[in-house]
Amino acid sequence: MELKYSSGNINELPVGAVVYFVSEFDKIPKNLKALDDCCGNAITDLLKTTEFTGKNGEISVLRNVDCFKAMKVILLGVGAKKSLNHDSFRKAMGILSRHKSLTSIGRAVFYFDGFEDASFYQGTIEGYLLGSFKLLDYKSGDDKKSKNFLKEITFAVDNKKHLKRLEKAVTQGQIIAEGQLLARTLGLMPSNYFTPIDFAEKAKELAKKYKFKCRILDEAAIEKEKMGALLAVSKGSVEPPRFIICEYKGGPANRDPIVLVGKGVTFDSGGISLKAGLNMGDMKGDMCGGGVVLSAITTAARLGIQQNIVALIPTVENMPSGHATKPGDIHVSRKGLTIENINTDAEGRLILADALDYANKFNPQAVIDVATLTGATLYILGYAGIPIMGNNDKIKDQFRSAADNTAEKVWELPIWDEHRDQMKSSIADLQNSGGRAAGTITAGAFLENFIGDWPWLHVDIAYVDQEPSGKAYVPKGITGIGMRLLVSTLQNWKKV
């Protein structure tokens, strides 16, 4: 996609379409009068019949508009003026991004008439790129070819003095949306194309391209680190585990890093505690936490965020076999705490336990882990939001304001002593399952045993990592949720 910028006379541009952002109106607004005049008062008619009144996501196509060289003018409603924000533009453009009026042409102008907020510009490119995403890698023949013919977008404003802000906001939105698309792509890749070894290769490739450091611990190195909890999970699979360590230094050399930890289970069959068959294929997405974390550090490097960031991704495949860990087994974690394996399907917390302990090596100023950890999230917030837990109010506040920026909702859950007690084993220090009650919280209570003396935030993206039906800028499938949240948190980071 080629992006251009203009403050010139858009009427003269010989493009397929000019997209006009229009907020909700009950009489023709001043800035649309001229347009209405030169299309035979088509907008007046649309208003009369209530066919188009500027509600968010409404689309109307005007053809043969005399005063434009463009083939057509597309009116795109963004909603009520007083409640407009970045997400209004993300949503409206997300809907238009798949509309044939736009995808059938090669070049378009996005015209911001009277909209001067930079977050609207950023929301628009994010909405376009996120909404039009379609993974074609696994199609063949003609189906592999994109049916979206749009190749060039010119972002246009009236006033030359807004041009720099426009370009900056759109460039930033493009990089951030591409980060989320990377997270989606990794999550959609089936486990036979994306093993722990592939994950590690991908991390190295991105690190090389965007100039940050990346080291991989192979199985022998993981054994040397005594990551007994992680190794217990990977034992059942023929795919060996990997431990990915990425480091990006955008801040002063002596500043402690923010460490991101992501669950990287490339397939979660449940192990010997085998899952039921229905929708088991979704568990190829059980590495989404790791995918989001890798995409976030990549995006941070591309944006040049001025923080030191470490990404740790333990990656394994959880499979049943003659080699597999069995319920009742006891594992010795890297930290030395012993864990009774009540349910081999509670594998995520085992690999995260060793990764959180490994984070101590970096003397972190804070640690944020992201994981598709518990199915119980479905009964708490459903597909609508992300449960978070942690030990530091300042991180939670920063994360909540990031969530306001990105329109990814988060909600805090408590961890109480009752929940901690649920995770105690009668014969080992801990057990990996506390039963059904408060399943999302008890997973957090388990992880808490492995954190060091630092502020910590746990982000459970189970279920919200998938969109069941399709929304304005989130097509059905893997969402890449959490990637924009992390990046926004890092961009606005204040010491906690």
Which residue numbers are catalytic?
A: 275, 349
Nearer to Zn ion, 95 or 462 (CB): 462
C-alpha to C-alpha distance for 3 and 126, rounded to whole angstroms: 13
C-alpha to C-alpha distance for 196 and 287, rounded to whole angstroms: 9
> In angstroms, what is the minimal distance from the CB of 318 to ligand BES?
7
Rounded (10°) CA dihedral 454, 415, 288, 262: 20
The tokens of 239 are what?
A: 């795919």
- Of positions 187, 264, 439, 455, contacts ligand BES by CB under 6 A: 439
> In angstroms, what is the minimal distance from the CB of 370 to Zn ion?
13
> ∠460-462-467 over CA atoms, to 5°?
130
The span of 117-125, 214-222, 296-304, 342-350 binding Zn ion (CB under 5 A) equals 342-350
C-alpha to C-alpha distance for 417 and 435, rounded to whole angstroms: 16
> In angstroms, what is the minimal distance from the CB of 332 to ligand BES?
20
- Of positions 268, 369, 408, 467, contacts ligand BES by CB under 6 A: 268
CA 38 to chain centre: 43
Binding partner selected for residue 452 from Zn ion, ligand BES, Mn ion, none, CB under the kind-specific 5 to 8 Å limit? none
Measured on CA atoms in the order 465, 471, 474, 475, is the torsion positive or negative?
Answer: positive
446 binds ligand BES (CB under 6 A): no
Question: In terms of Cα–Cα distance, which of 125, 185, 176, 195 is closest to 477?
Answer: 185
> In angstroms, what is the minimal distance from the CB of 376 to Mn ion?
12
Size of the site for Mn ion (CB under 5 A): 3
268 binds Mn ion (CB under 5 A): yes
Measured on CA atoms in the order 460, 465, 469, 472, is the torsion positive or negative?
Answer: positive
Site for Zn ion in 270-289 (CB under 5 A): 286
One-letter identity of residue 229: A
> ∠262-297-453 over CA atoms, to 5°?
55
User: Are 54 and 78 a contacting pair, CB within 8 Å?
Assistant: yes
374 binds ligand BES (CB under 6 A): yes
Question: In terms of Cα–Cα distance, which of 302, 109, 338 is closest to 209?
Answer: 302
- Of positions 47, 376, 474, 490, contacts ligand BES by CB under 6 A: 376
Question: In terms of Cα–Cα distance, which of 335, 327, 373, 331 is closest to 353?
Answer: 335
Nearer to ligand BES, 171 or 343 (CB): 343
> In angstroms, what is the minimal distance from the CB of 460 to ligand BES?
9
Nearer to Zn ion, 115 or 446 (CB): 446
The tokens of 284 are what?
A: 């190829």
345 binds ligand BES (CB under 6 A): yes
Site for Mn ion in 309-348 (CB under 5 A): 345, 347
The span of 90-98, 297-305, 374-382, 470-478 binding ligand BES (CB under 6 A) equals 374-382
- Of positions 119, 172, 372, 431, contacts ligand BES by CB under 6 A: 372
314 binds Zn ion (CB under 5 A): no
Nearer to Mn ion, 88 or 442 (CB): 442
- Of positions 36, 126, 247, 268, contacts Zn ion by CB under 5 A: 268
The tokens of 196 are what?
A: 């722990």
> In angstroms, what is the minimal distance from the CB of 378 to ligand BES?
7
The residue of the chain with the least Cβ separation from Mn ion equals: 345
- Of positions 11, 103, 343, 491, contacts ligand BES by CB under 6 A: 343
C-alpha to C-alpha distance for 347 and 70, rounded to whole angstroms: 56
465 binds Mn ion (CB under 5 A): no
Nearer to Zn ion, 94 or 348 (CB): 348
Backbone angles phi, psi at 166, to 5 degrees: -60, -50
Backbone angles phi, psi at 332, to 5 degrees: -100, 115
Question: In terms of Cα–Cα distance, which of 434, 441, 455 is closest to 381?
Answer: 441
CA 36 to chain centre: 40
> In angstroms, what is the minimal distance from the CB of 186 to ligand BES?
15
Residues of this chain that bind ligand BES (CB under 6 A): 268, 286, 343, 345-348, 372, 374-376, 433, 439, 462-463
Residues of this chain that bind Zn ion (CB under 5 A): 265, 268, 286, 348
